[in-house]
A = this chain, B = another copy of it.
Amino acid sequence: MYTLRSYFRSSASWRVRIALNHKGLAYETVPVHLLKGGGEQHASHHHRLNPMEQLPVLLVDGVPLAQSLAVLEYLEERHPTPALLPTEPVLRARVRQLSEVVNSGIQPLQNLFVMQQLGVQFGVAREAQQAWSRFWIEHGLRALEELVGDTGGRCCVGDAVTFADLCLIPQLYNARRFSVAVDRLPRLLAIESRLVALPAFVLAHPDQQPDAEA
């Protein structure tokens, strides 16, 4: 029923992998390589499935759904148990707010395509591209650390896993890739230490994917 077009290191694909695992939903992975040959996400077949030429795409009986948070909401509506959103309206809003801090506040500014464009449009060198990504990750994760001070329990909002946790884990992985000083984010690290032990998170890790590379 579900096919996920995914890349092992794509943080947005990773969020959806955790959700599918958490809800016990079987799915087939179709790897799309973001680098090989200029990026398979730009091929016409993938473009037809998602004109933004991004990952993930979840195929639902062949219908392509893109944008990870839209896909998470879809899975939550179709498979409400186990839940990835709380029941109380303000807490649901808070989960979505924290998720968007990552989804719209960090990830769009630090991904590969943006770094490439800094080079293409302004001749920015590799190291300065990485400093750019680091800046936006630090800016967003500092805000998330503060927000979690109000809402956090064992997870980002309370004690149950939500969308916010699915966004946090891949973003912390990227933070380390860009040498962000994550030790300044003690609340997020404490939550991370609990989440990464959960089977849904273990199975969704990049290293566990069929297209994983060393």
Contacts and interface: CB of A to CB of B under 8 A. Distances in A.
Interface string A65-107: 1110111011001100000000001101110110111011101
Contacts of A124: 122
Interface stretch (A15-23, A25-33, A127-135, A203-211): A127-135
A63 interface: yes
Identify the interface centre among A71, A73, A94, A97: most chain B CB within 10 Å of its CB. A97
A60 interface: yes
Copies per assembly: 2
A45 interface: no
Given A51-B146, A101-B67, A93 B73 contact: yes
Interface residues of A, number: 47
A104 B103 contact: yes
A117 B108 CA distance: 15
A42 B147 CA distance: 16
Given A77-B89, A77-B92, A92-B77, A67 B121 contact: no
Interface of A: 51-54, 60, 63, 65-67, 69-71, 73-74, 77-78, 89-90, 92-94, 96-97, 99-101, 103-105, 107-109, 114, 117-118, 121-122, 124, 128, 131-132, 135, 140, 142-143, 146-147
